Amino acid sequence: MTKKAGHILVLVFLALALAFWIIAMATPGWFVFDIMVDISQIEILLTEEWYIYKIKCCVSDVCLYVSDNQLNDVNKDLDTQIQAEMVIEKGLAVLLCGLTLLMLIFSDSPDHQAFVVMYLVGVIIDGVLIVRTTVSNASISDFLKKNMNNGIKVPYSIILSGVGFIIAISGFAVSLAMRRMLRYQEPHVTPVSRDQDLSVIG
């Protein structure tokens, strides 16, 4: 693999990962669940769909959107904490990898230390978010099945983010391979001993 080809390949991987992450941020599929409530023998469907930065709440066919700031004003429980952490973690991951992408576009090589560190930190943060939201989905699903005979729907935003994570990991692996290859291609200068140096002068 040539230096230019590796550079382009890392650029493509990173751009694709960012595209999936941004789409995941814009979709309400981090937590998606329906709860059927029986009030005076009338069944009412309650639905919650979580974006990264807001929640869509529906009662039957009537829906409203609640931002994290509004949620914080009326609710101080775990939902608010999770929402804030999701915003911070996803925002940092996209910011770091976005800066890495810009660095890669305006640089002639993906082998420098700042690129590797920023890329790795961004990928790790997104991986942590995926794991935490997946575990939370499993816990909520288990609770709903036991207590309300309801389940949670497929959290498709987590799946989108996971695809981006896999692509980002692949790009990071390519960048490490490029870094190693460029290091091996560096010319090695054989040190000249003092006696050899004097003999040349003489």
Residue 1: per-residue pLDDT: 56
Residue 149: per-residue pLDDT: 63
pLDDT digits (tens, 9 = 90+) for 49-77: 888 888 888 887 888 887 766 655 545 55
| Percentage of the chain modeled with pLDDT above 70 | 77
Residue 40, pLDDT > 50, answer yes
**Helical packing angle, 78-105 and 113-147, nearest 10°:** 150
Region of residue 143 (phi > 0: left; psi between -120 and 50: alpha; otherwise: beta): alpha
Residue 198: per-residue pLDDT: 47
Residue 42, pLDDT > 80, answer no
- Annotated domain spans of the chain: 3-29+73-185
Comparing 135 with 186, the larger pLDDT belongs to 135
Predicted structure pTM score: 0.78
Q: Which two tokens stand for residue 70?
A: 């509004």
Comparing 164 with 75, the larger pLDDT belongs to 164
- In 3D space, the residue among 125, 133, 159, 132 whose CA is nearest the CA of residue 31 turns out to be 133
Residue 34, pLDDT > 60, answer yes
Instruction: Work out the burial of residue 163: count CB atoms within 10 Å of its CB; fewer than 13 is exposed, 13-18 middle, 19 or more buried.
Output: middle
When pLDDT is averaged across residues 120-126 and rounded to a whole number, the result is 91
Cα(152)–Cα(35) distance, integer angstroms: 9
